[in-house]
Amino acid sequence: KIVSPGGNDPKILEDLKQEGDTVAQFNHPNIVTVFACGVVDKNYYLAMEILSGGDLKQKLASGTLDELKTLKIMKEMSSALAHSHKRKTLHRDIKPENIMFNDEGRAVLLDFGIAKAQGKVSEFTRIGAVVGTPHYMSPERALGKEIDERSDLYALGVVMYEMLIGKKLFEGEDTFAISYAHVHEPPPPLPKDKAALQPILDKLLAKSPDDRFQSADQLTVILDKWIRRLERNNSQTTQGFVPITVKSKSSKLIITLLSAIIVAGIAFAAYWYFTKEKIEVENNKLSTEMQFEMSEKLTAANRFRKMGNLKNAENLYKIVLTKYDCNNADARQYLGVLNKKALNEIIAQCKK
């Protein structure tokens, strides 16, 4: 790959080389292998592996993918993003053309051409030489706001929709119309035969980053569970599974009651745990599943706090800090308001 920016600005070429160097440091089966990169005669070059299986856009030109294949590609891409995000690099241009396949059929993410190391803004991206693709742009990016890992996950959700439905999430006459839809319009629902995957898509395509999966690792855990479920049933489709839909008042009531029971159970467990004995911090090394569990408990704690149920919120914040991560900033902040003494006791036991 050779890039010749307009004007051959030395600063742009240097920024391109720095970004290429970042990608060259990745070592992941679902991220393209870069062998060398540099600048020769004011031209930027990138030498990378050959991917003979074509790209996802070409595959979609032949029709939609079944759910199992879609989920497997999604898992490979979420794993790739988890790898780059842990190295503080956002992709910022997730789209079918940038997902290619090797001769074994494995999905590979490439073209980090507008990738950005978090906390650093390159001259190349700042001047607007590359702005990403409007069809896959997150609401916060369309609004010009600061973005993080969750913006990449939104774009991946748009790709998931396209794999399942065969068309783009939002269409429009121009970039403004498409961007407006990403910011304001609800995503079209999946058809009934694929509705079981609606909760995953809803979470990926939430307008607020806080309502999405908070990391690619969280997404990978969910995708892996679905893939194993389909493979156990020797099925390519989720049509045989009961979809989670909320259409009638009765179904809304059932889901509300079930949610209340689950939340009440969590609250009771938290209350029991903190009344039976003194606070003890475990300092666990978190697995991906434990990280997801912690995220769920933080969400429940925040919900209790906003509802004014401060005791349950306090107990859940304590669980987050003692059972999962004693350095969690959100839990520390809110527990400090609710029970400063308990927070100080936890901090005293927390390994720095």
Question: Would you please indicate which residues are annotated as catalytic (active-site) residues?
Answer: 93
Retrieve residue 113's tokens. Answer: 């051409």
**Tokens 């070059």 label which residue?**
45
CA distance 158 to 145: 19
- Give me the half-sphere count of Cα atoms (radius 13 Å) on the Cβ side of residue 34: 21
Q: How many residues does the chain have?
A: 352
Selection from 340, 333, 265 nearest residue 297 by Cα: 265
**How many beta carbons lie within 10 A of that of residue 279, not counting itself?**
15
CA dihedral over 76, 82, 88, 91, signed as positive or negative: positive
Q: Do 125 and 116 meet the contact criterion of CB atoms below 8 Å apart?
A: yes
CA distance 140 to 144: 6
Element (H, E) at 89: strand 89-90
Q: Do 123 and 63 meet the contact criterion of CB atoms below 8 Å apart?
A: no
Which amino acid, 157? G
Selection from 51, 4, 49, 42 nearest residue 23 by Cα: 49
Alpha-carbon distances of 132 from 112, 127, 156, 214, 233, rounded to whole Å:
11, 13, 13, 22, 39
**How many beta carbons lie within 10 A of that of residue 38, not counting itself?**
14
Selection from 155, 136, 153, 170 nearest residue 214 by Cα: 153
CA distance 234 to 133: 37
Retrieve residue 181's tokens. Answer: 């839809």
Q: Do 121 and 12 meet the contact criterion of CB atoms below 8 Å apart?
A: no
